[in-house]
Structure 1
Amino acid sequence: MKRGLLLLSLLFSSLLSSQNTTEDKWGTWIMLYGDNKISENLDIVTEFRLHHYEIFDVLDNQFYKIGLGYRVTPNISVGAGYVHHYSETRTNISVSENRPYEEICLNRKIKKLSVSHRYRIEHRWINKDGVTDFVNRMRYRLQLIHPISGKFYIKVFDEIFLNLQEDVFNQNRLHTGIGYQINPNFKFEMGYLKNHLANRADDILRIGILFKTDLRKKTNIE
């Protein structure tokens, strides 16, 4: 109960911080995330996202991801995959990116509280109006999930992005929100995300649909 109250206070604090923003309007991030089991410890992960500069309006970028995740132990998993996204900036500059990545996730439970540490390295080929640059980036995310009532839960995370060259700071994302587990294989989430970049800070309504599938062959027992 105390941890649930702590997470609620974090949610309230981050919502108050939205008053200090360089943007007058909120954007939206809409996410569809799939975890598709192909063996006992191996999953195919998929993700599709749409980002809007305004609420469900003025498309910013489209984001596609496919990867593999492998559970080394119940509390440790590793993964690798590929991301592609395309964006059209507010100054009408087109940007596309091809981004392989590798990651490791460390998970633990403290009573009802789920704690996750994710470390990811990304190799980014960024094409901006026909000119391609290559950069590497590190990401670290701390995520907390705690049930609050019935099928509802709170999700809080903070993720920092660091370039592995000059201008080290890339961005920081602080998220607080609510999730609802419709069934063991289907969840719906909604939350507030504050995205701090080098020269601005954006307020974002984040909406997610998360699902699980089992692609293993079923054996019929007669």
Structure 2
Amino acid sequence: MTQITLVRNTFLKIVIIHLVYIGLPKNAVAQEDLRDATGTWLVIAGNLELREHWKVPTVGIVRYYNLAEQTEFGFFRTGITYAPNKKNKLTLGVAFLDTQPFDHFEFESLTTQFWLYEEYCRNQKLLGVKLAHRGRLEKRWITKPHTEIFNMRFRYRLQATYPVSKNLYIKVFDEPFFDFNQSKINQNRFYAGIGRKISPSIQMELGYMKNHVGKNNFDRIRMVFLFKAKLYKDKNSDMTSVD
């Protein structure tokens, strides 16, 4: 069995397991605490390329405590990106999210956040592997039902993408979060999955994410749809780091 065939078979197994799990009766998984349930992490991300060095990033995320049943939070961010070359890019942007806690009541106000962020990304290749470094400083205004908080944090993501074939690749990343208010790393995200280029402007990914938040940790099936749109013509660009 070739390496490409093995990866493709693994991809199909993950999809089948996911579909079977969704198809289970709700009472078959209702006994599991939401904190321990395998959740869903859906991402739609892309870039609108305005001209050679300028882009508008767009990322939308919907997360569920379990598989596409009970919403955890919704997230949207955008901004303006300056990329002087293919190795470096700088982004200034805004983001908004609302969070529904585990013990949320139907008519209770949700926790919302508004962000201003600065982000720097650098890409490189090492032994055939594409490495992407991303550092982001986030200024967050958090509104809870009975209080408001200003918070700053820094997050660094190291991502490795290995091309298995022309259209198939493996992606792994790890991203710790440093909270300035608590003066410690209070969150970490680890992801491993596979992706496929559907066309020069569309890619899809499927994988597993382990999300540590404080003393809690969560398992998530992460599904990603990546796209790009251009207002001008140039050579094909890579999309494996747009989210």
Sort the TM-score into its range (normalised by shorter chain).
0.7 to 0.9
Is 1:63 matched up with 2:75? yes
- Tell me which of the two structures has the higher relative contact order, counting C-alpha pairs closer than 8 angstroms and 6 or more residues apart: 1
Deviations 1:78-134 (A, max 9, x none): 111111000110111621000110011111112431101111100000001042100
Alignment of 1:149-164 (within 5 A): 149-164=165-180
Give the CA deviation at 1:167: 4.9
2:36 aligned to which of 24, 29, 36: 24
1:197 aligned to which of 193, 196, 213: 213
Q: TM-score, normalised by structure 1?
A: 0.85
Query: How far apart, in 2, do the equivalents of 1:88 and 1:121 lie?
Result: 24
Query: How far apart, in 1, do the equivalents of 2:218 and 2:186 lie?
Result: 14
Query: How far apart, in 2, do the equivalents of 1:165 and 1:130 lie?
Result: 19
1:139 corresponds to: 155
**Residue segments in structure 2 that go unaligned for 5+ positions in a row:** 8-33, 234-243
1:119 aligned to which of 127, 135, 138: 135
2:181 aligned to which of 162, 165, 176: 165
Structure 1: which 4+ aligned runs deviate by more than 2 Å?
A: none
2:49 aligned to which of 37, 58, 65: 37
Q: TM-score, normalised by structure 2?
A: 0.78
Larger strand proportion, structure 1 or 2?
Answer: 1
Deviations 1:139-187 (A, max 9, x none): 0000000111341100100000011122522200000000000011100
Query: How far apart, in 2, do the equivalents of 1:167 and 1:192 lie?
Result: 29
**Residue segments in structure 1 that go unaligned for 5+ positions in a row:** 9-21, 218-222
Deviations 1:28-85 (A, max 9, x none): 1101101110010110000111000001110111101111111123311111111100
Letter in 1 for 2:85: T
Query: How far apart, in 2, do the equivalents of 1:205 and 1:193 lie?
Result: 6
Identity in percent = 33
Aligned residues: 199
